[in-house]
Structure 1
Amino acid sequence: MASELPHAKEPLIDHLTSKDFQNVYEPAQDSFLFIDSLQKDVDNLKALNPKIILEIGSGSGFIITFISQLLGTNGRYYMSTDINPHAALASSKTSDRNNANVDVINTCFIQGLERLKGSIDVLLFNPPYVPTPSEEVKEKGIVASWAGGVDGREVIDKLLPQIMNILSEKAFFYIVLVQENKPKQVISIMHSYGFQYQVVGKRKAFNELLYIIKFYR
């Protein structure tokens, strides 16, 4: 079901086909909750006045394109990364389809982008959070978009120690978690790195309890 947003429209994804979605994660309830949560937090985002906005694991490009429409250009730089080359291409096409200006890079997390360390003002991450056997985490293509390993945390736990080096001092970090990911543990880990948190979105979707958590210093 589409989300009704008073200030920013859902990005158009009619350029992507069922064939594309065999290789790329299709926007679903977690995606819609994410953009709804960003919309609700728009005043804080605008007050932050971010200059560099990054989404890790952008998939179809739905979320990074949405936030670019929500906040506008105004000297801001939008970029996304995805380890799946099909997803990187889809993100680029979604940016173009919506007249956004997102730089898309086919890489893991921020490998090869060391120059951006300490300068990301908004970081978005809808990780592969589904609990699966650890072997599936190494899979490529569409499986990489959901396979999270033990507790759905294996990819998440690889990123968390890098957060301090990625973000600027004033940054917001938004992440999708489900109950199986043990959100309290994630919050405790981030607290040990000096971050506070706020639950900015929560929704029951089918058999999942979804959270959007914002971390900030």
Structure 2
Amino acid sequence: MTLMVLPGVYAPQEDTALLADALRREVVSPRTRVLDVGTGTGVLALTAAMQGAQVTAVDVSRLAVWTARLNARLARTRVRVLRGDLTAPVAGRTFDLVVTNPPYVPSPARTAPRRGRARAWDAGQDGRLVLDRICGDVPRLLEPGGVLLVVHSALSGVRPTLARLRSAGLTAEVTERRRVRLGPVLRTRRTWLCSRGLLSPDGQTEELVVIRAERTR
């Protein structure tokens, strides 16, 4: 699909492509209610809509909301795009499928940025400021049999994600793995990442994972 990417909005990269591949393998029908958390350009929301689903997308960034709405119009697909913090705009609703490519890049800063482009990727020193909130919030939004698909870097810790989702009553497993070259942000943080034990001195790549979690009851 052709996408417009407004300045300051996270452009789809290899993590988005990996999650989109996983999304296309899910069974989706016109009755499937899908939520895209942190939609950015809206590419994942559009992927689900093109499969026939009823799609709601959320982002905290006004620019991202405008971009996703524009891309939905250009693609002639119906996506409801809401502005707000993670799942807050859909409180009280439930979904059959939730997809999310959240900020997960470890950062020297202890807190997440409140504005600027880095808000789309920086997530605290362990990269889990947003991931942990998603693991806590999303299970309550899933219908029985509902599925969460989340992509993030192994640098942010795969085991903590699996443990938190399982403790919330979901079955969870890694379904996709892909090793990619370090992007420009991680390359500028190589020394810091090495000092934290997250990267070896000669490390040139990171592993991306997609975790699939299902509510079985």
- What's the TM-score bracket when you normalise by the shorter of the two chains? 0.7 to 0.9
TM-aligned CA deviation for residue 135 of structure 1:
4.8
Query: Is contact 2:38–2:58 with CA below 8 Å preserved after alignment?
Result: yes
Equivalent residue letter for 2:70: K
Deviation digits for residues 88-115 of structure 1 (CA, Å, limit 9, x no counterpart): 1101111111111000011111224323
Query: Is contact 2:148–2:213 with CA below 8 Å preserved after alignment?
Result: yes
Q: Which among 205, 209, 212 is matched to residue 211 of structure 1?
A: 209
Partner of 1:12: 2
Equivalent residue letter for 2:160: Q
Tell me the SS of whatever aligns to 2:112: helix
Distance 2:99 2:168 in 1: 18
Distance 2:175 2:122 in 1: 24
Tell me if 1:106 matches 2:83: yes
Q: Percent identity?
A: 22
Tell me if 1:167 matches 2:142: yes
Distance 2:42 2:109 in 1: 26
Query: Is contact 2:8–2:116 with CA below 8 Å preserved after alignment?
Result: yes
The correspondence of residues 78-117 of structure 1 with structure 2, limited to 5 A, is 78-116=55-93
User: Per residue, is there more helix in 1 or in 2?
Assistant: 1
Partner of 2:45: 64
TM-aligned CA deviation for residue 159 of structure 1:
2.2
Equivalent residue letter for 1:214: R
Equivalent residue letter for 1:12: T
TM-aligned CA deviation for residue 133 of structure 1:
3.0
TM-aligned CA deviation for residue 50 of structure 1:
5.2
Aligned residue pair count: 192
The correspondence of residues 157-196 of structure 1 with structure 2, limited to 5 A, is 157-196=132-171
Partner of 1:156: 131
Query: Is contact 1:124–1:174 with CA below 8 Å preserved after alignment?
Result: yes
Structure 1 pair 60–112 and aligned structure 2 pair: CA distance change class (3 A): closer
Query: Is contact 2:98–2:147 with CA below 8 Å preserved after alignment?
Result: yes
Tell me the SS of whatever aligns to 1:115: coil
Structure 1 pair 24–158 and aligned structure 2 pair: CA distance change class (3 A): same
TM-aligned CA deviation for residue 30 of structure 1:
0.6
Partner of 1:146: 121
Query: Is contact 2:111–2:124 with CA below 8 Å preserved after alignment?
Result: yes
Equivalent residue letter for 2:152: L
Equivalent residue letter for 2:21: D
Equivalent residue letter for 1:126: N
The CA RMSD over aligned residues, in Å, is: 1.7
Partner of 2:17: 32
Distance 2:31 2:153 in 1: 27
Distance 1:124 1:159 in 2: 11
Equivalent residue letter for 1:154: L
Distance 1:55 1:180 in 2: 23
Query: Is contact 1:50–1:122 with CA below 8 Å preserved after alignment?
Result: no
Partner of 1:198: 173
TM-aligned CA deviation for residue 54 of structure 1:
0.5
Gaps of 5+ in 2: 182-204
